[in-house]
Homo-oligomer: A and B are copies of this chain.
Amino acid sequence: MTVAGFTRYPPFIDDLARSESGRLLHAELGRRWPETTDQLTATARYALLPAGKLLRPMMTLHAAEAVGGSPRDVLAAALGTEYLHVATLVHDDIIDADTLRRGRPAVPVAFGIPGAIVAGDHLIFTAFRAIVDGGAAVPPGHVVAALTALAEAGQDLCRGQSIEAGLVGDLDAGARWYPEMIRLKTGSLFRAVCQIGALLGGAEPAVASALARYGEHLGVAFQIRDDLLSYVATPEQTGKPATSDLNNGRPTLPLLLAYDAATDTDRVELMAVLHRRGAGPGDVEWVTALLRDLDAVGGAHRRMVEHAERARAELAVLAPSASADVLAGIARWLTSEMA
């Protein structure tokens, strides 16, 4: 594995943000969240803008277009998936006591914890309203299914967070729960994002289900990619210290695979390193060597590729189109820069 050429936001996603659908999303987001003196709206605007790469709404738009829907019709719903995502980030920053987000003071720091709780809640409710607004072109049954998908993703997300909180510092439980945890924590919203696009684009149930599976596998691959970033990219590229996963005691996939393959002696030592959050002398170097010796980064990478490929295989239900190509491209992009 080489890390040459790896960057946090590879060109493909940058190109996508500059595409017509990217410009459409950015313009609509700015229009819907103008500058204001209203405290609640100002807090939400701060959380939402300047926008990131809008990967989730982008997938909703292209899922809708890939099944024959109009991106403009589902624009509101696409932004709704971003509201839910950002709401979880705002609440996460309280939970993890994170003070920085995208290089600025996090919402709880800038607006206080009470303001951050209420703004996060408000964004959740606004996400549901947005799905309704994005469903005007399809029968109400499709809108109910899309709203159900969003509610289930939210439930799953909370459950994933709750499981993750219980795994800190515990590689035994981590190994048992990791696949389910990342499916719930990250796979579920990507699943809903694609399913909502398909449903509001007018897709038949079978096609919507295939796109839901595409999204879930893609989300799982995305989470493993995030786990890998600590090990294959430099802090300048990831924006966080190389040892951050050791610091917060989170059992990432490379650590879990190393734990699984390690000798009993190394297992005990790995647990000890995690318990002292990698703060002992030589801890980071020892873990890095162990991961290399046991091919743990390579193993995690292979799992990521596997999920990305399973995601792409689900797209076989789609007729050829530019949007189908974009969805396939996202799955390819996810892994190609880390080859």
- How many chain A residues touch B (CB < 8 A): the figure is 40
Q: Which residues of B contact A91 (CB under 8 A)?
A: 117-118, 121
| A residues 129-181 touching B (CB-CB < 8 Å) | 129, 132, 135, 139-141, 143-144, 147-148, 150-152, 154-155, 158-159, 161-162, 165-166
A143 vs B91: C-alpha distance in the bound complex, in angstroms? 29
Set B121, B155, B162: member contacting A158, Cβ < 8 A: B121
Q: Which residues of B contact A113 (CB under 8 A)?
A: 94-95
List the number of copies, as a whole number.
2
Q: Which residues of B contact A132 (CB under 8 A)?
A: 144, 147-148, 151
Q: Let me know if A124 and B122 touch, CB within 8 A.
A: no
Q: Let me know if A148 and B121 touch, CB within 8 A.
A: no
- Closest-by-CB residue of B relative to A139 is B140
Q: Which residues of B contact A39 (CB under 8 A)?
A: 162, 165-166
A158 vs B117: C-alpha distance in the bound complex, in angstroms? 10
Q: Which residues of B contact A135 (CB under 8 A)?
A: 144
Q: Which residues of B contact A151 (CB under 8 A)?
A: 125-126, 128-129, 132
- Closest-by-CB residue of B relative to A141 is B140
Prevailing SS type, chain A contact patch: helix
| A residues 235-253 touching B (CB-CB < 8 Å) | none
Min distance, Cβ A81 to any Cβ of chain B, angstroms: 14
A39 vs B155: C-alpha distance in the bound complex, in angstroms? 14
Q: Which residues of B contact A115 (CB under 8 A)?
A: 162, 165
Q: Let me know if A158 and B114 touch, CB within 8 A.
A: no
Min distance, Cβ A118 to any Cβ of chain B, angstroms: 5
Q: Let me know if A154 and B140 touch, CB within 8 A.
A: no
A326 interface residue, CB < 8 Å from B?
A: no
Set B118, B124, B140: member contacting A161, Cβ < 8 A: B118
A135 vs B143: C-alpha distance in the bound complex, in angstroms? 13
A284 interface residue, CB < 8 Å from B?
A: no
A40 interface residue, CB < 8 Å from B?
A: yes
Q: Let me know if B129 and A148 touch, CB within 8 A.
A: yes
A277 vs B126: C-alpha distance in the bound complex, in angstroms? 35
A-B contact pairs, 21 of them (CB 8 A): A39-B162, A39-B165, A40-B162, A91-B121, A95-B114, A115-B165, A118-B158, A118-B161, A119-B158, A121-B124, A121-B158, A122-B159, A124-B124, A128-B128, A128-B151, A128-B154, A132-B147, A132-B148, A132-B151, A140-B143, A144-B144
Q: A39-B165, A121-B124 are in contact. List 11 more A-B contacts (CB 8 A).
A: A39-B162, A91-B117, A91-B121, A95-B114, A118-B161, A118-B162, A118-B165, A125-B151, A128-B151, A129-B151, A135-B144
